[in-house]
Structure 1
Amino acid sequence: MFAAPGGEINPPSGPRLVANVLKGEPSRFEFESKHMGTTFRIVLYATDKAVAKKAADAAFTRVAQLDATMSDYKKDSELTLLCKAFATDVGDPVAVGDDLFFVLQKADELSKKSDGAFDVTVGPVVQLWRLARRTQQFPDAKELAAARAKVGYQKVKLDTTKKTVRLTIPGMQLDLGGIAKGYAADEALKLLREKFGITQALVAAYGDITCGDPPPGEQAWKVDIAPIAKSQKPRTLKLANAAVSTSGDLEQFVEIAGVRYSHVLDPKTGVGLTGRRSVTVIAPNGITADSMTKAVSVLPPEQGLKLVDATPGAATSIVVLGQNNKPVVTASKRFPDE
């Protein structure tokens, strides 16, 4: 079983692994590897242990490649080098690789649809809040104002023909923490399918889970969503060829002067969310589910529901802690019933 804000992956019952392998039937294999600041887990079904391991290793290598491309921690990542190119002046557009451009393009699309509730230019503010979490002190007002001046998705110019990027204000920093893991999970699952023919698989990255075909004899993967309040029971979702992402302050938050600030920041205020909220989004792919949970977390519930309902194949459940820590649940039209 897999415990995370995204929930638990419940294994179906069945014959023992060794017996299955001897019969040539698909057996369940699980692999883990640390990337992007979290643990990626792959659950797959295959008839051969060696093939299963080779496939998982290749998928993890793909995730590592994406981490080397999109990390804002690594000094030599493509993302870091892109931002460095505009550290002191705006200069000429910079050509980037297919992966980075695709993610930036998807981020820009959601930024426009959400009116900036999702915004990867929030990097300068994220840096201040990383320090705040370490020091337990609210960011300096002047520093926060200076950081906010560099935020705004409209300040990123993408050329879809040449696949170039231009940052229009010196010192901008892009942060793909709210979208990269979902894309990495998608790409890992894609590699398992296309290179190894493994379709019955699932890739999980903390609260981001992308599912392929269901396990043998099952109609879906069963994923338990962890509750925001102890009084709630986990919510079980049944998914196949879809993704789910959950975002909230269950584990990632900082408390300063008695106020609890979520790791999810409002790009327009530059401040971590203070209302206790857990957002779950189901979507056709991980990149959509991952990024949309952040947008819905920032938006008022009514606007979040409208955004999700307008997205093909997407659904959301928003849980807000109200008075006396009583959870109030609001779900979109397509979110599955209990």
Structure 2
Amino acid sequence: MNRTSASGWLPRLLGAALLLALLMLLGTTRLAAQPHAPRPTRAYTRSAHLMGSHFTFTAVSDDDSLAWQALRAGLRETQRIDHLFSYWDSTSQVVKINRLAGIRPVVVDQEVYDLIERTLKISQLSGGAFDITFASSDKIYQFDRQDHARLPDSATVRNSVRRIGWQKVQLDVATHSVYLPEKGMRINLAGILQGYGVRRAEQLMKQMGIAGGLINGSGDVYCWGKQADGSAWRIAIGDPARPHSVSSWLTVSDLAVVTAGNYEQYFTVAGKYYGHIINPHTGYPATGLRSVTVICPDVELADALDDAVFVLGPAEGLAMINRLKGVDATVITDDGQTLVSKGMQLNPYHSAAPVGAPVTAAKP
């Protein structure tokens, strides 16, 4: 009887064990089939001192490795451009062009040739308000934030800009050469270089798979995609009259917001501000504006246009912006008034008066 009981108990035990193993296998399979929890999307940031300014690179991603790789690539690309176009680096092609002014043309990389060619087109567009040969001027001002007794005499000022003239720059498309025909002529691409660096870094990061990001090159901002929480980017515009405060703000995506101001490098005469942006036609510092912000899809173009608007002044500068498709601007005048172009959608902390079109600015 014990044998009979044992023979009946053993198959039942083996059956139960097989059933348990089968259930465990099914459970393991179900667990393996469960997808991994999605990695959180976050913003990764890296900063560096480039082109004499503070740069911040931000990548929005759910992939740590990709984000850091893209940030390093964007930074290295900006460093490469800084070296290639530097006004100070003795090995740069721009320095070589300046050194051989009045002597012979200089064959340059296609990239250098193309950027210089684009600057000359912007000079033509702005009537010479933007001019990379501004570097040919004599240094007759000291922008030390101090009150000066007087401006230099008119003869000194006129003489200081005698070599300036974008029309003088000679490009040879067949040889990719650049020639400055007068000794003492110089070019300096500082007015567009940060924007170009931001544009190239942004393009590279996008190609690597970064769907959202922001690059800020000391006021030259380009943002694309969305923030980590899915919202659009909000860009603040500083108030020249109140340092470290905000005058207005914009909600943007896939756009450049570039701001230039004369409230950091300046001097005063009898209480009047004279900023570091020089009118290449007159030799005098551009007056009438404290801040210019240009908004458009091309950060390189925006970087050049803000200087042009500064030189042209509020009325003529905004009139130029109003003629350009897809470009908007807001300016702050010497007396603190905020003006906007006809298509500008601004969120100011005080009222803004549109120039050149019957558009009312948004209320705070």
Q: What range describes the TM-score normalised by the shorter chain of this pair? A: 0.7 to 0.9
Supply the AA of the counterpart residue of 2:90. K
**For 1:73, which of 66, 88, 108 is the aligned residue?**
88
Please, which runs of 5 or more residues in structure 1 have no aligned partner?
1-20
Is the CA contact (8 Å cut-off) linking 1:111 and 1:117 kept in structure 2? yes
User: Which residue does 2:352 correspond to in 1?
Assistant: none
Supply the AA of the counterpart residue of 1:253. Y
Post-superposition Cα deviations, 1:123-177, rounded to whole Å, max 9, x if no partner, equal 0327554xx2369776687765444111011111223444221212122111111
Query: Number of matched residues?
Result: 308
SS of 1:50's partner is helix
Q: Does residue 111 of the first structure (1) align with residue 120 of the second (2)?
A: no
Pair 1:218–1:127, CA change in 2 (3 A): farther
**For 1:331, which of 311, 317, 340 is the aligned residue?**
340
How many angstroms apart in 1 are the aligned matches of 2:293 and 2:195? 13
How many angstroms apart in 2 are the aligned matches of 1:234 and 1:135? 22
How many angstroms apart in 1 are the aligned matches of 2:200 and 2:269? 38
Q: Taking every aligned residue pair, what percent have the same amino acid on both sides?
A: 28
Post-superposition Cα deviations, 1:185-208, rounded to whole Å, max 9, x if no partner, equal 0011011011x2112011101111
Pair 1:127–1:56, CA change in 2 (3 A): farther
Pair 1:90–1:59, CA change in 2 (3 A): same
How many angstroms apart in 1 are the aligned matches of 2:145 and 2:253? 43
Is the CA contact (8 Å cut-off) linking 2:236 and 2:246 kept in structure 1? no
Please report how far the alpha carbon of residue 259 of structure 1 lies from its aligned counterpart in structure 2 after TM superposition: 4.5
Please, which runs of 5 or more residues in structure 2 have no aligned partner?
1-35, 348-364
TM-score, normalised with respect to structure 1 = 0.83
User: Which residue does 2:299 correspond to in 1?
Assistant: 286
User: Which residue does 2:137 correspond to in 1?
Assistant: 125
Structure 2 matches for 1:250-269, cutoff 5 A?
A: 250-255=263-268, 259-269=272-282
Pair 1:35–1:22, CA change in 2 (3 A): farther
Pair 1:316–1:153, CA change in 2 (3 A): same
Pair 1:242–1:105, CA change in 2 (3 A): same
**For 2:308, which of 295, 298, 302 is the aligned residue?**
295
SS of 2:191's partner is coil
Structure 1, 94-103 or 226-235: larger mean CA deviation:
226-235
Question: Cα RMSD between the aligned structures?
Answer: 2.5
Pair 1:154–1:52, CA change in 2 (3 A): same
Is the CA contact (8 Å cut-off) linking 1:44 and 1:200 kept in structure 2? yes
Post-superposition Cα deviations, 1:193-227, rounded to whole Å, max 9, x if no partner, equal 11x21120111011110112122443521001111
SS of 1:179's partner is helix
SS of 1:333's partner is coil
Q: Does residue 52 of the first structure (1) align with residue 61 of the second (2)?
A: no
Please report how far the alpha carbon of residue 240 of structure 1 lies from its aligned counterpart in structure 2 after TM superposition: 0.9
User: Which residue does 1:15 correspond to in 2?
Assistant: none
Post-superposition Cα deviations, 1:51-99, rounded to whole Å, max 9, x if no partner, equal 322211111111111111111122221111111121xx242x3221133
Pair 1:337–1:256, CA change in 2 (3 A): closer
SS of 2:242's partner is coil
SS of 1:74's partner is coil
Please report how far the alpha carbon of residue 257 of structure 1 lies from its aligned counterpart in structure 2 after TM superposition: 6.7
TM-score, normalised with respect to structure 2 = 0.78
Is the CA contact (8 Å cut-off) linking 1:185 and 1:205 kept in structure 2? yes
Supply the AA of the counterpart residue of 2:48. S
Is the CA contact (8 Å cut-off) linking 2:199 and 2:222 kept in structure 1? yes
Please report how far the alpha carbon of residue 233 of structure 1 lies from its aligned counterpart in structure 2 after TM superposition: 4.6
SS of 2:214's partner is strand
How many angstroms apart in 2 are the aligned matches of 1:256 and 1:102? 40
Q: Does residue 240 of the first structure (1) align with residue 253 of the second (2)?
A: yes
SS of 1:281's partner is strand
Structure 1, 285-294 or 249-258: larger mean CA deviation:
249-258
Please report how far the alpha carbon of residue 239 of structure 1 lies from its aligned counterpart in structure 2 after TM superposition: 1.4
Structure 1, 142-151 or 263-272: larger mean CA deviation:
142-151
Structure 2 matches for 1:89-168, cutoff 5 A?
A: 89-91=102-104, 93-125=105-137, 127-129=139-141, 132-133=142-143, 144-168=157-181
How many angstroms apart in 2 are the aligned matches of 1:337 and 1:52? 32
Q: Does residue 32 of the first structure (1) align with residue 47 of the second (2)?
A: yes
Post-superposition Cα deviations, 1:306-327, rounded to whole Å, max 9, x if no partner, equal 22122221101121132xxxx2
How many angstroms apart in 1 are the aligned matches of 2:40 and 2:279? 49
